[in-house]
Amino acid sequence: MSTGAWWTAEDVANVEKDLARHPKSGLWSYTSPAEMAHWVFADPALPAAGDLAAPGVDPLDADLDEPARASWALAGWYIRMTVPKPAETDGKLWFLNQRRVRGRSLLRVTLGRLETLWLYEDGDGINFHLDKVAVDAAFEAGVIDEDAWVTRVAEREDDPYDTLRGEKIGCVCDTVDDALWALRQPPVLAAARLLNVKCLAVGGFSFQRLHRPERLARAWSAAQAHFDSPPLRSEPEPAFDRPYRSPIVDPAALTGTRAFDKHAYAAGCDEHDRLSRWLIDTLAATGTSAGTGLAGVPVDLAWQDADGRQYIAEVKSLVGAGPEDQLRLGLGQVLEYRHRLALLGRVVTPILLTSAPVDEVWRDICRDNGVTLLVDGDPLPSGC
């Protein structure tokens, strides 16, 4: 079985374009096509739990037996790992339902119009859907153990659901352990994420009246108690290449052959350093270390949050320079770095940091390209 990357930056771009074909989706109230395209292929990491338990609700009933706890735990793990923005979108774009079927309790995760995971509480038979193209690409690249897959996973030949017909495959596992083994394979997890984000982009969720927040609280709590660990993956990648060092710029030492204002250049370097130090110190106050460079790509700053999400920042001083030109340059640089890192198998969240307020249209321009524009003095984006 190969361990190399099975996706490319072109795959990320194609997913973004596909998602952008649904501009009226309610999902874009919480995120963007660019962010979701990168999330699909991102190194798997558990999201922060947040405050999910409804007031006065015991999220995990004490009278559940072990098979039931394992089933609720699998549902919670699946939700946390494969549903876009699960806490924010619960009950609005998707939900976890529980119903009695022939005297047995059935758990169902429905995104938009499609059930993407369903299993009986007694743990007998776990069903889930995956994106077909993503799974086929992973097998073709040899990054899934085909022998183990055939032993643990059965693929359904029929597709009784109209939603995304032809774009998905149905999988059945006999046990929770088998289902967890399959879904913890990074390419399989990506296939689940891709299908799920497509479901929410297509929309059509109409089950708000059936939503019960305590169900998600129970599943989330069970997942934390049972197997709150990252999926199968290699050792964590470094968050940056080296510690940040302030540049030393002496205007008098600059060559006279360069046609620019030496003192303005030095002032710009000083402002760049001040901005970099501000971001480093702000992150350090939350327990996060930031440095410079990432996988040989010359990003200004790089760091990872507590859940392992990788960020990069391009710092642009607007001192003594045309803000429009600097913003164009900075946006182009951070998009180039994101692309180069994607080719190396590193999925990143890019930030453009500037030293002064700019025309608000630039926030929209950056957002449309999956980049967060951060102006000196702004609070850090959620998740940093």
Phi and psi, residue 377, nearest 5°: 100, -15
Nearest Cα to Cα of residue 182 among 133, 120, 135: 135
Structure tokens, 157: 């030949």
Give this prediction's pTM.
0.63
pLDDT at position 294: 93
pLDDT single digits (tens) 16-62: 999 999 999 999 999 999 889 988 988 665 544 444 433 334 454 55
Q: Residue 10 — very low, low, confident or very high, per pLDDT cuts 50/70/90?
A: confident
Largest CA distance in the chain: 86
Yes or no: say if 82 and 45 are a contact pair by the CB < 8 Å rule. no
pLDDT at position 2: 41
Q: Residue 239 — very low, low, confident or very high, per pLDDT cuts 50/70/90?
A: very high
pLDDT at 305 over 80: yes
pLDDT at position 164: 83
pLDDT single digits (tens) 345-363: 788 889 999 987 778 899 8
Sheet containing 104-111: give its strands across.
Answer: 94-101, 104-111, 114-120, 126-131, 168-173, 154-156
The structure tokens 């700053």 sit at 301
Bridge partners of residue 156, in order along the sequence = 170
pLDDT at 93 over 80: yes
Mean pLDDT of the chain: 83
pLDDT at 312 over 70: yes
Ranges 186-195, 202-211, 291-300: which has the least confidence:
202-211
22-31, 58-67, 202-211: which is most confident = 22-31
- The whole-number average pLDDT for the span 327-338 is 92
pLDDT single digits (tens) 118-144: 999 988 889 999 999 999 988 988 888
pLDDT single digits (tens) 150-197: 999 998 877 777 778 889 999 999 998 899 899 988 899 999 999 999
Q: CA triplet 3, 193, 201: central angle to 5 degrees?
A: 145
pLDDT at 303 over 60: yes
Q: Give the count of beta carbons closer than 10 Å to the beta carbon of residue 273.
A: 18
Structure tokens, 317: 């001083």
